[in-house]
Amino acid sequence: MKKLFKILLPTIFLLGLWQGLIIIFDLPHYMLPQPKDVFLQLINQYDLLLEHTQTTLLEIILGIILGCFFGLSSAFALLYFKKIEKYLLPILVISQAIPVFAIAPLLVLWFGYGLASKIVMTVIIIYFPITSACYDGLKNTPKQWLDLAHTYKLTPLQTLFKVRFKASLPSLASGLKIAVCIAPIGAVIGEWVGSSKGLGYLMLHANARMQIDLMFSALFILIILTLSIYFLTDYLTKKFIPWASHLH
């Protein structure tokens, strides 16, 4: 009940603020639609919104899976091939310095208008937080846990997967929670630059036709989607890494 209240209260406050702004500043419909109009669009355009939501959700999920795969692989490589660390680490940082908005048109050119370019963009956006969080966790495995592995004469590979990787899970979980929040940005930017499906595409399309209430309903779904993925990730990490909060 308390939890529900915690969610309901800010929602009611935001809706009130939204409606209040429209009344106070006498904003026209094409600038800021009323919450009830957006809600009506959610009901009336249910099929259309569902179709585009499925596309965006697929891009986000595939992007997260692939981003995790590449991020974890890079973190393992950084840890075990010390010589490449000094070359790979600056590249990683540089990759984050290039805004994904700037390379989005190129990615659409290279990977086409379909799912691939959006997935690549999502992967690029979440690759760094995953790699960095996992690498930090692997590197900072408590010495006493590694000492035990050494005295048991574990091979480097056994130490990596049975000790270091497990020890890195709390750090990886933090990185993953950041990654799932920013993953939709990659997918939506990709859809803005070039696509024929997805919530980003629908928002552009609706904006061009002055269907601002539809645009807001797509935005609303995107927010709900991001929040759902975040809370699911948070729930799963707490369920599968319950010891993380007891480490220090």
Q: What is the DSSP string of 40-70?
A: HHHHHTHHHHHHHHHHHHHHHHHHHHHHHHH
Q: Which residues contact 171 (CB under 8 A, 6 or more apart)?
A: 133, 134, 136, 137, 140
Q: Which is nearer to another protein, 3 or 153 (CB)?
A: 153
The span from the CA of 69 to the CA of 66, in Å, is 5
Q: Which is nearer to another protein, 22 or 244 (CB)?
A: 244
Residue 169 binding another protein, by CB under 8 A: yes
CB of 154 to another protein, least distance (A): 6
Q: Which residues contact 216 (CB under 8 A, 6 or more apart)?
A: 33, 38, 41
Choose which of 40, 48, 88, 241 interacts with another protein (CB under 8 A): 241
Q: Which is nearer to another protein, 10 or 242 (CB)?
A: 242
CB of 235 to another protein, least distance (A): 18
Residue 145 binding another protein, by CB under 8 A: yes
Residue 51 binding another protein, by CB under 8 A: no
Half-sphere exposure of 113 (CA within 13 A, CB side): 5
Choose which of 34, 58, 96, 162 interacts with another protein (CB under 8 A): 162
Q: How many CB atoms lie within 10 A of CB 168?
A: 25
Query: Which segment (107-115, 120-128, 137-145, 203-211) binds another protein by CB under 8 A?
Result: 137-145
CB of 243 to another protein, least distance (A): 4
Residue 246 binding another protein, by CB under 8 A: yes
Query: Which segment (48-56, 114-122, 145-153, 224-232) binds another protein by CB under 8 A?
Result: 145-153
The span from the CA of 123 to the CA of 8, in Å, is 33
CB of 4 to another protein, least distance (A): 29
Q: How many CB atoms lie within 10 A of CB 54?
A: 13
Contact 175, 132 (CB under 8 A): yes
Q: Tell me which residues in 206-225 interact with another protein (CB under 8 A).
A: none
Q: Which two three-digit tokens encode residue 74? A: 């890079």
Site residues for another protein per CB under 8 A: 142, 144-145, 147-152, 154, 158, 162-163, 166, 169, 241-243, 246-247
